[in-house]
Amino acid sequence: MIAVSLEFFALAAVVALAGAYLARSADQIAEITRLGRLLIGSVLLAAATSLPELTVDLSAVRQGMPELAAGDLLGSSIMNLLILAVLDLAHRSGGKMLSREAAAHALSATLSIAVTALAGMAILTAPRLPGFSFLGIGIWSWGILVAYLLGVRMIFLDQRVSARAAADAAEAAEPDDGGKKPVQPPLWRPVVVFTVATLVLFLAGPRLAHVAGQLADLSRLGKTFVGTTLVALCTSLPELVASITALRMNSFDLVIGNVFGSNAFNMILFVPLDAAHPGSLFADISQSHAVTSLAVILATAVAVLGQLYHVEKRRRVVEPDALLMLLILGGALFLVFQLSS
């Protein structure tokens, strides 16, 4: 038990280190390309930090542990929201990430709500409905993928309009300096760092799944609960470290975009898992995972309400804030433990 635990935390440390390099390089890429931290965080950084989920859960499905895989994907979304809530409470400018200053992220948050809702509906209905599939992938998984791609297109178009407006405003405000433009650092350096860090995450994942399965058997807590908590916590380490690193750089857009983008990206990972699983993945996993998906939807909705709510001085718990998110997510973890024990 001790040896397995040590190996588990050693792998988690490797994943965390790679996450720090991902955040720094993503911030540099956003600055050089001028695509914006919201878009880079919601798509590029979110996809990279979600790679542990992909490799871990593919390995888990191939080893006959779909419960662990589903619990990890949905549990990672809970952990990501916990990261956002805790950082929002702990940072010296507390409340900033759930205020109207962050309202631009409501679009990516709504996308994560939509695809998580589709996953929750699939979990509840797949065991009772005829299983339709195309290319070995169930119809629910295809629906999640299409919804995600349409949502990313909306975010891209929205950010392109915002970037043009910001560029025009900056150009109008800048004094005439004789046409000289600031020299940008080369793009290839952060791209190389980002790629190497992503590769480290991709390689560390399969072993982490194997060790997590061993811990689930030794602890006797059940694969649903272990997947939703222990594995999800470790595969969310890239998001945690990347968010802390971005917060230290005052890149709030990168932090929020990474959390909401990762939660949306986690749901499309059901597509390769469904392809790797014999039969319908959603029909073969416990319906207790629907509790997790509903909690993610509710907590994300609270975050969006906080971003769109006009009043800045709020009553704790009664009005949308990070503390209310913590209560919702903590209650969801307790329910999952009760249902899986």
DSSP secondary structure string for all residues of 110-147: HHHHHHHHHHHHHHHHGGGS---EETTEEHHHHHHHHH
* Helix H or strand E segment including 286: none
pLDDT of 165 reads 66
97: its two tokens: 């990430």
> Cα separation of 276 and 194, whole Å?
28
Residue 295 lies inside a defined structural domain of this protein:
yes
Quote the number of domains for the chain. Answer: 1
Dist CA 183 CA 136 (whole Å): 50
* pLDDT greater at residue 89 or residue 207: 89
Domain of residue 48: give its range.
2-172+190-340
Residue 180, domain member (yes or no): no
Which pLDDT value is given to residue 116?
95
Kindly calculate the radius of gyration of the chain based on its CA atoms and give it in whole angstroms.
Answer: 20
CA 36 to mean position of chain CA atoms:
18
- Which amino acid is located at 165 in the chain? A
The tens digit of pLDDT for each residue in 234-272 reads 767 777 877 887 777 777 777 888 888 889 988 999 999
Look up the CATH number of the domain holding residue 120: 1.20.1420.30
pLDDT at residue 80, rounded to an integer: 87
**Portion of the chain with pLDDT greater than 90, in percent:** 12
CB neighbours of 37 closer than 8 A, spacing ≥ 6? 27, 30, 251, 253, 254, 257
Q: Would residue 183 count as lying in a domain?
A: no
Q: Residue 183: is its pLDDT beyond 60?
A: yes
From residue 260, give the alpha-carbon distance in Å to each of 109, 120, 152, 188.
5, 17, 12, 27
Average pLDDT of the residues of the chain: 78
Give the span between the Cα atoms of 176 and 199, in whole angstroms: 44
Residue 80 lies in a domain: yes
- For residue 125, tell me if it sits in a domain: yes
Is residue 182 one of the residues assigned to a domain? no
Q: Of all helices (H) and strands (E), which one includes residue 64?
A: none
Quick one: three-class SS letters along 210-254?
HHHHHHHHHHCCCHHHHHHHHHHHHHCHHHHHHHHHHHHCCCHHH
Place of tokens 């991709």: 202
Band of the pLDDT at 142, cuts 50, 70, 90?
very high
95 inside domain: yes
Which residues pair with residue 138 across a beta bridge? 133
Phi, psi of 30 (to 5 degrees): -60, -40
**pLDDT of res. 272:** 92
pLDDT band at 161 (very low <50, low <70, confident <90, very high): confident
At 90-126, the pLDDT tens digits run 775 555 566 555 667 788 889 999 999 999 999 988 8
Residue 143 confidence (pLDDT) above 90: yes
Asked if the structure places residue 296 within a domain, the reply is yes
